[in-house]
Amino acid sequence: MTTHFSLGKGLAAGIAATLLAACEQAPSTTSDAAELRVDGSSTVFPLTREAVRRFERGALSGQIEVKFSGTAAGFRRFCAAETDISNASREINAEELAQCQANGVEFRVVPLAMDAIAVVVNPANTWVDEISVDELKKLWSPGAENTFNTWRDLREGWPNEPIVLFGRGQDSGTYDIFTQSIVGTTHSSRQDYQASEDEEFLANAIAAEPNALGFFGIGAYHRHWDELKLVAVDAGHGAVFPTLETVAQDRYQPLTRPLFLYVSQRSLAEKPMLGRFLSHYLDGLPGWIHFTGYMPLARDSYRNSMQALVKAP
């Protein structure tokens, strides 16, 4: 059974060539000259950064600052009226919504794409081709620090070697979705793992550690498909790899999730460039999103989002 994403090596190489440069950039420093500011999910960052690149390449004026600090940290800035768009890999929660309401920040939600959270290991790992949801729960639950520390602890027949864990940081929407889906409680997991909001750091670290296992958005795997090994996940109906087909068919469960843009309604009214940028982003996205490994929504979804944004008071 192949452990590579079903788009194939040729397209995976194209993905890397298209987006790696944008993703390797350090988050841009704050600039007073920036006309629009975007922060939030590092999973969504490559999509929005590519949209900005295409917008600017089209000689459409204006400076757009794009950062990633994690979905939760991005919402903190957004609800403090510090940004115009918040990239998000989960929906806003009740606490964040209350913060926005307290600060008078109204917003529009734009569904952007479908994503899968990938479970990956180092290519030197010859024993893990698939892993069950139950095994992932045992491995990542808070009490696992004293119980599941070697591969043999997790499954009989696997080697008596330490498992070195990597994953998204606790400001990450990916971490929230992963813990809710796998552990059963949002923001609850073992703490003895290497956490980072930077997917490039995690991918490189896993590629350097033979006993590594980690998780992040599928886009990071695509950018490093030749350095990582993708693991199929078994939720009780057979092991399934995250592919365009399995995500579309709702078969890669429970680690499939939507991605969003949260857009400031005040910024829409006061900054005309924001509407132009979003129109360019949503109109062009279906034509290039396949290079990222994420799955587009139906074109009607983007059209409906733009119509709602245009009608925003």
pLDDT, tens digit, 9 for 90 and up, residues 123-138: 999 999 999 999 999 9
Specify the range with the lowest mean pLDDT, choosing from 98-112, 164-178, 206-220, 283-297: 283-297
Tokens for 116, please give them: 């899968």
Evaluate if pTM is beyond 0.75: yes
271, 268, 257, 270: which is closest to 306 by C-alpha?
268
Tell me: the pLDDT tens digits for 43-98? 999 999 999 999 988 765 668 999 999 999 999 999 999 999 999 999 999 999 99
Q: Where are the alpha helices (DSSP H) in 87-155?
A: 94-102, 133-140, 151-154
Query: CB count, 10 Å around CB of 49?
Result: 22
Confidence of residue 33 (pLDDT cuts 50, 70, 90): low
Q: Strands, E, within 124-193: which ranges? A: 130-132, 164-168
CA 272 to chain centre: 28
β-strands 229-234, 64-66 pairing: unpaired
Q: Is pLDDT at 262 greater than 60 in this prediction?
A: yes
Cβ atoms of residues 295 and 247 within 8 Å: yes
pLDDT of residue 312: 65
Alpha-carbon dihedral sign for residues 68, 72, 73, 75: positive
Q: What is the pLDDT of residue 307?
A: 87
As beta bridge partners, residue 263 has 85, 108
Burial 193-220 (b: 16+ CB within 10 A, else e): bbbbbbbbebbebbbebebbbbbbbbbb
End-to-end CA distance of the chain: 53
How far apart CA 284 and CA 292 sit, in angstroms, is 14
Percent of the chain with pLDDT over 70: 87
pLDDT band at 1 (very low <50, low <70, confident <90, very high): very low
